[in-house]
Structure 1
Amino acid sequence: MLLSALACGVVVFPGLFFSSRAVLRRLFPNWSEADVVSISERVVSAVHGSLATAAGAIVVLSCQDVMNDNHWLVNTFVVFGAPYMAFDIYSMYLSHFHSQNSSRHSLQTLKAFLHKDWMLVLHHVTLLTVFMPVALFLRRGLGDFFIGCFFTTEFSSPFIAIGKILIQRRLDDTWLHRLNGLVVLLTFFTCRILIFPFMYWTYGRQFGIPLNKVPFHLPLHCNLGNAVILAPQVYWFILLVKKAKRLYLRGKKGKET
């Protein structure tokens, strides 16, 4: 089953990207290659985020015992989503390449991409090299509930992708973009930040431990792992809040003039 899931991931995500690219070229011949590639990348991101959220919700709702209950979707989706993480690095690079109007691929272009998007690249690489082995081999079949919670952190991804597409098409000064931005803030804060105290609270409720004492009942590596995952989420949320503030002030200034 896992090999089949891996094969599906290898076919689905690159196939969706290149299909979107071909369709957009045909439907919008006046669009630049940078626009076509960028929007195709975001379509794939939105699809992956939607699938991950659905898988996570199914797992979370199915596991009554947060430590011992198992669900077949956990390992299957981890393997299915791995090709997305690898391919998304390539599609992000391709989007950067075309946005710079580069004539050819070079080490300098690659360095510029890694300098610009180093945190996202590191996030994807960490998921592939750390999260995936832990989820598949080192958990000893425990904690499917928590892996499902991590899947749901992708709930904000489709809305982030929509926002980027709207900006790409110069629709960032519309009510739709402002509404989508509000949804991004709410979903990001709920599913990428509040999800951590929720997991601790759920664990504590099952074993009769107050929330403030749960971290002291967990192994150090569990707390450190959560902290490492949470840190970039807080950083990205702060960036989103700053961006929302700039858009609000710009809209307020526009109304005054």
Structure 2
Amino acid sequence: MAPPGAPLAAGLLFFPGLFLLSRALIRRCCPPGHAEVLAARLVSSVQAVLASTAGYLISSSCQHVIDDQHWLAGVYPEFAVPYFIYDVYAMFLCHRHRGLVKGHEVGSAPSLRASLVSYLRKDLMMVLHHGAMVFACYPVTAFWREGKGDFFLGCLLMAELSTPFVCLGKVLILFHLQHTTLHKLNAVVLLVTFFFCRLILFPYLYWAYGRQRGLSLLGVVPALPPAYNMAAAALMAPQIYWFVLIARGTWRLFSSPPRPRQPP
């Protein structure tokens, strides 16, 4: 078992450090603004792979969904806390880069305050999600569970499996490759992984609990304390919102006619 605070300290060093290192390397072949976006997407993808791997190891090792434990369930959430704090800043850098590019095109770059306001207006849901992960989900995971439910935590960590495809889509758009076959294929994979890893996940968790307790899927809801059902609903609500956005984007991608190739 890691010493107290060691995973947190490791996360504080790892995620910002990986961003700074990758940005410095990418700047050698890309413009500075692009380098920040690419570095941020890389860090998000790395975190997603680490979280999904940890989640698989945790959930696959727990035969009893309530009482079985795995050491990663106590380590990885603490390690990941700094990522959600760092990522709020990284998302702002990406947003400001897009604003500066647009401002350059029209001759007037937005101010820092205007960028911050537009960032919160556009990505408020994501900022609130990250805040909830730090100030609500982590305390529940670290202190309130009392070592119970590692299986469920592992399954929730595997929800990050869709994140690399989100990042790849953003990178393709950054390089104006949103009408390529690769972008369309990535959109389909994103839609499928998001649906199974973030929407079907919640009914599956109820089903797994019901199987352990000898309850039907519909019988699980009244058998749980109302706070549990409210927490599950609060976690699932933004996933439904984002899935609708992804589905709409995928539909537009396949339904819109191909854009004519621009002359050189």
TM interval, shorter chain, is over 0.9
1:146 is paired with a residue of what secondary structure? helix
Partner residue in 2 for 1:45:
44
Q: Which of 17, 20, 23 is equivalent to 1:21?
A: 23
Q: Which of 122, 145, 151 is equivalent to 1:145?
A: 151
2:137 is the alignment partner of 1:131: yes
Contact 1:49 1:155 in 2 (8 A): yes
Q: Distance in 2 between matches of 1:167 and 1:252?
A: 15
Contact 1:46 1:158 in 2 (8 A): yes
Inter-CA distance 67–38: structure 2 relative to 1 (3 Å threshold): same
Q: Deviations over 1:167-193 (max 9, x none)?
A: 111111111111111110110000000
2:194 is the alignment partner of 1:188: yes
CA positional deviation for 1:34: 2.5
Partner residue in 2 for 1:56:
55
Q: TM-score, normalised by structure 1?
A: 0.93
Partner residue in 1 for 2:97:
98
1:117 is paired with a residue of what secondary structure? helix
CA positional deviation for 1:128: 0.3
Contact 1:34 1:98 in 2 (8 A): yes
Q: TM-score, normalised by structure 2?
A: 0.91
Q: Deviations over 1:3-32 (max 9, x none)?
A: 22111111111111111111111123xx3x
Q: Distance in 2 between matches of 1:124 and 1:100?
A: 22
Which aligned segments of 4 or more residues in structure 1 are displaced greater than 2 angstroms?
Answer: 102-109, 251-254
Q: Deviations over 1:52-106 (max 9, x none)?
A: 0000011110001111111110120000000000000011111122222287964
Contact 2:179 2:258 in 1 (8 A): no
Contact 2:172 2:183 in 1 (8 A): yes
Q: Distance in 1 between matches of 2:127 and 2:187?
A: 24
Q: How many residue pairs are counted as aligned between the two chains?
A: 251
Which structure 2 residues correspond to residues 226-241 of structure 1 after superposition, within 5 A? 226-241=232-247
Q: Distance in 1 between matches of 2:192 and 2:129?
A: 22
Cα root mean square deviation, aligned: 1.6
2:125 is paired with a residue of what secondary structure? helix
Counterpart code for 1:239: L
1:27 is paired with a residue of what secondary structure? coil
Q: Distance in 1 between matches of 2:253 and 2:8?
A: 41
Gaps of 5+ in 1: none
